[in-house]
Amino acid sequence: MSNIDLNRIPRHVAIIMDGNGRWAKERGMARVQGHKAGMESLREIVRHSSELGVQYLTVYAFSTENWKRPEDEVSGIFKLVVIYVKSEIRELSANNVKVNVIGDWSRLPADSKDAIQYAIDTTAANTGLQFNIALNYGGRAEILRAARLLAEDIASGRVSAEDASEDMISDRLYTAGMPDPELIIRTGGEQRLSNFLTWQSAYSELVVTPVYWPDFSPEEYDKAIAEYQSRDRRFGGIKA
């Protein structure tokens, strides 16, 4: 933490946890072993986020496009969701972390849905870090869902079309009531958002690291925050 200003920690950090498969391939392992190794990194980053005073941490765990992956990899990821909840729920609760899931997780296997609901219910009263897990999530699908909800309200007369605003879209997103992420970190070196927080990322600072997610340590996290703190955020204006 020596290189970061603890008084300027971003309130909301989002992470695209990429590189699990490549990490495993380079070691001659099955891809699901990379996802398992990534679970260890997730544990450390959630813990470190809480220690730093981050208020919201959103991680991209499974996208709407990830269903295209091999069936054994997809089923392995969902099994890891169950394992993660069972192994981490006690520490999450002890650290006052509140678990939330964004995305349409109704399509997940029953045991995964049960584990998620258990985590949400068990941590519902916690007031510390809000840990958002994006599961079966896509940014465009989220915007479409919000637009449909707003259209229903307009059709019913609850909202007039003339009054429709950006805030009304924001209020119908999965992240309603949360600040937009100030910092989005992508591990693994790819330089794209991959349909992640499409609406919310309009003015997010993007930090890309070549480090694969299983090797992403609290020290690497601090480097990304230090990079964020070095940026001049003008939001379309100019510095006085």
If DSSP codes are grouped into helix, strand and coil, which group holds residue 53? coil
Query: Which residues, including other chains, have CB under 8 Å from residue 40's CB and lie 6 or more apart?
Result: 214
Torsion, Cα 86 176 127 213, to 10 degrees, reads 50
Q: What is the pLDDT of residue 233?
A: 80
Residue 142 within any structural domain of the chain = no
Predicted TM-score (pTM) of the model is 0.94
66 is catalytic: yes
The total of structural domains in the chain comes to: 1
Beta strands in 4-47 (DSSP E): 12-16
Catalytic residue, chosen from 5, 18, 20, 163, is 18
95 is catalytic: no
Residue 163 within any structural domain of the chain = no
CA 92, CA 217: separation in Å to the nearest integer?
18
Residue 235 within any structural domain of the chain = no
In which domain, by residue range, is 69 found?
Answer: 8-136+182-230
CATH of the domain at 59: 3.40.1180.10
Catalytic residue, chosen from 20, 66, 121, 180, is 66
Q: What is the pLDDT of residue 2?
A: 58
Q: What is the pLDDT of residue 1?
A: 54
pLDDT tens-place string over residues 40-84: 999 999 999 999 999 999 999 999 999 999 999 999 999 999 999
* Residues of the chain where predicted confidence (pLDDT) is lower than 70: 1-2, 237-240
